[in-house]
Structure 1
Amino acid sequence: MSFKNILFCFILLVAASCASKKTFVKPGKKKVVKVVEKEPVKLPSVNETKHVEKLKDTEVNLNKFTLEYIEKFAPIAVKKMHTHKIPASITLAQGVLESGSGRSELALKSNNHFGIKCHTNWTGESVTHDDDEKGECFRKYEYPETSYEDHSAFLTQRKRYEFLFSFGTKDYKKWARGLKDAGYATDPKYPEKLIKIIEDYKLHEFDDVKEKDVKYAKVDKKIDENPEEKIDKNVLYEVQKGDTLYSISKRFMISVEDLKDRNGLKDNTISIGQVLKIK
């Protein structure tokens, strides 16, 4: 063997020995992981039953299915307000409108209450449904509560909705109009429909519920692992188009807060090509 060949082999060996042992997930080589949903916990009351009974006594021609929907989902809407700073009235009104008060095909068969489509980063179950186009892909959930969490993630982790949070949690009219301006819906009357639902059913009263007045149970922030679906988390991940911290956390079965802590992130903003430490 010539000296040049020996030298070339030596260089290759050195390069191989110096290479990082960390796994690096490159674009096009995503590990497809089934979305594991946490079983919902019972949330404390926010006087939703009293709210509905008062509406029945003082208002007429209110939809009974909408009243049932409010009584069932008001606590989770308030919880999401306290966690993500989205007005409970907006979340509830969108749920009522998008799911037909929980009676739409998507809500009944897929627990999808907000019409959230698959997008490129979804690794969970899905169904096809005719919407803007025929046979579009929509997310399917085991629990409706996961749909509510996805709704919160959709608004908090996309830059085009960032301005909405400057309105606070008590200006539902600005939120309703802002959602339309940000492109959440194509219906030009979307804001008016939300506002009407909020005012007809007095959903803005839930925006006044203070976190200190609700006794939430303390839960572990980490997402539980399914022992049969563990994956190697000793990786660096390169952010791709369509990724959010929430979608990445679901893929690798860790919490958004853990991702932020491990990467020194102060908010949920990430950019294409950014390398995140998974473990």
Structure 2
Amino acid sequence: MVRLIRSLGIFLLLTGFFTAALAQKKISREEYISRYSYIAIQNMKKYGVPASITLAQALLESDNGNSTLAVKANNHFGIKCHKNWKGGRIYHDDDRKGECFRKYRSPEQSFTDHSLFLRGSSRYDFLFKLDPTDYKAWARGLKKAGYATNPNYANLLIQIIEDNQLYRFDKGVDVKVSPPSDYLADVDSYSVDIYNSRKVFVRNRIKYIVVKEGDTFESLTKDLSLMPWQLYKYNDLTKDSTLREGQELYIQPKRRRADRSHPVHTVEPGETMYSISQRFGVKLKHLYRKNRMKQGEEPEVGDVIYLRRKKPL
């Protein structure tokens, strides 16, 4: 009996210890915003979803990152599996018992998938025609499109945005945010040293280099064991083109479409169809075809350029 009481006491002590430890790990709203604002801003630049909306939805859906789905599955937006989902899964009670939700390797994947989810569904198309700084219109639009069943969903998002001044992330005014220490960088950040110690990067599964001072087409073709015509063709260049320091130069053919994580791109100041083609590793002629544009036409700032499929009529 004494041994049983002692064991029970130890069990209760350990239970209390682990409960307290779990309680201490709970993330505050301020901590969550500090942790994920950088990722929300990066996704806004890539996909056009206002950072304030992304953060407000994540805060609401994940209980500031403390929900079961966020903790166990890195699912910060409560996105369910749906029939086309081929990734990890977790089962959780929601509208019905044991519903299937998406499971991610990292929170960053969840944020990206949220942007792609909105970009990839026709019912959300009208949102991307709204002013990106009009968070109220976006919140009401999400409710209208059926993102959530809660009739007060739009008002909840607006209140979170205003209470925490999340709208400042949409405008970029007096906002200084840095990537978290464990931020998962894009594949572009990875490099290997080959070809006479020259760094070779990978984008859209295509190798490219960064031009250094003193590089010429002749020296590069020799260093990289390529034929002269290959560098011109792979980069949509002509024989009278010149190189500049810092220029990115593909050493393999570009592809017909961008990586799955980049279905579309919102044109930024100073960008051209050529620079977008180079940025995402898509052949220039295919980029024009996908966007129903004539060779030589240039987009305007704010235009949406389709990188994987043809632009809808």
Distance 2:57 2:260 in 1: 21
Distance 2:283 2:66 in 1: 36
CA gap of 1:215–1:148, structure 2 versus 1, over 3 A, is closer
Asked whether the 8 Å contact 2:124–2:142 carries over to 1, the reply is: yes
Extract unaligned runs of 5+ from structure 1. Answer: 1-62, 225-244, 250-255, 272-279
Classify the secondary structure of the residue corresponding to 2:156. Answer: helix
Distance 2:33 2:142 in 1: 21
Extract unaligned runs of 5+ from structure 2. Answer: 1-25, 180-184, 189-201, 207-258, 264-279, 292-305
Deviation for aligned residue 1:147:
0.2
Classify the secondary structure of the residue corresponding to 1:138. Answer: strand
Deviation for aligned residue 1:221:
3.7
Residue in 2 that maps onto 1:222: 204
**Aligned counterpart for 2:66 among listed residues 74, 82, 103:** 103
**Aligned counterpart for 1:82 among listed residues 45, 50, 72:** 45
Residue in 1 that maps onto 2:135: 172
After superposition, what is the alpha-carbon deviation per residue over 1:123-143, rounded to whole angstroms, capped at 9, x for unaligned?
111010111111111111110
Deviation for aligned residue 1:209:
1.5
- 2:139 is equivalent to residue 114 of structure 1: no
In terms of fraction of residues, the more strand-rich structure is: 2
**Aligned counterpart for 1:201 among listed residues 141, 147, 164:** 164
Distance 1:137 1:97 in 2: 19
Q: Count residues with an aligned counterpart.
A: 183
Deviation for aligned residue 1:154:
0.6
Residue in 2 that maps onto 1:136: 99
The code of the aligned residue for 2:162 comes to: E
Distance 2:47 2:32 in 1: 21
CA gap of 1:259–1:84, structure 2 versus 1, over 3 A, is farther
Distance 2:162 2:262 in 1: 37
Asked whether the 8 Å contact 1:87–1:207 carries over to 2, the reply is: yes
Distance 1:206 1:198 in 2: 10
Residue in 2 that maps onto 1:57: none
CA gap of 1:189–1:270, structure 2 versus 1, over 3 A, is farther
Residue in 2 that maps onto 1:124: 87
Distance 2:134 2:262 in 1: 31
CA gap of 1:259–1:156, structure 2 versus 1, over 3 A, is farther
Structure number with the bigger relative contact order (C-alpha 8 A, sep ≥ 6) is 1
Residue in 2 that maps onto 1:265: 290
Classify the secondary structure of the residue corresponding to 1:86. Answer: coil
CA gap of 1:248–1:198, structure 2 versus 1, over 3 A, is closer
Deviation for aligned residue 1:177:
0.1
CA gap of 1:177–1:142, structure 2 versus 1, over 3 A, is same
Distance 2:178 2:32 in 1: 22
Asked whether the 8 Å contact 1:112–1:147 carries over to 2, the reply is: yes
Distance 1:258 1:104 in 2: 39
The code of the aligned residue for 1:174 comes to: A
Distance 1:65 1:148 in 2: 19
The code of the aligned residue for 1:166 comes to: K
Deviation for aligned residue 1:222:
1.8
The code of the aligned residue for 1:143 comes to: S
TM (norm. structure 1) is 0.58
Distance 1:171 1:200 in 2: 16
Bigger-Rg structure (1/2)? 2
Deviation for aligned residue 1:171:
0.2
Deviation for aligned residue 1:248:
12
**Aligned counterpart for 2:119 among listed residues 144, 152, 156:** 156
Asked whether the 8 Å contact 2:27–2:65 carries over to 1, the reply is: no
- 2:167 is equivalent to residue 185 of structure 1: no
Asked whether the 8 Å contact 2:48–2:128 carries over to 1, the reply is: yes
The code of the aligned residue for 2:290 comes to: L
CA gap of 1:209–1:247, structure 2 versus 1, over 3 A, is closer
Distance 1:182 1:197 in 2: 20
Identity of aligned residues (%): 48
Residue in 2 that maps onto 1:239: none
Asked whether the 8 Å contact 1:130–1:136 carries over to 2, the reply is: yes
Residue in 2 that maps onto 1:91: 54
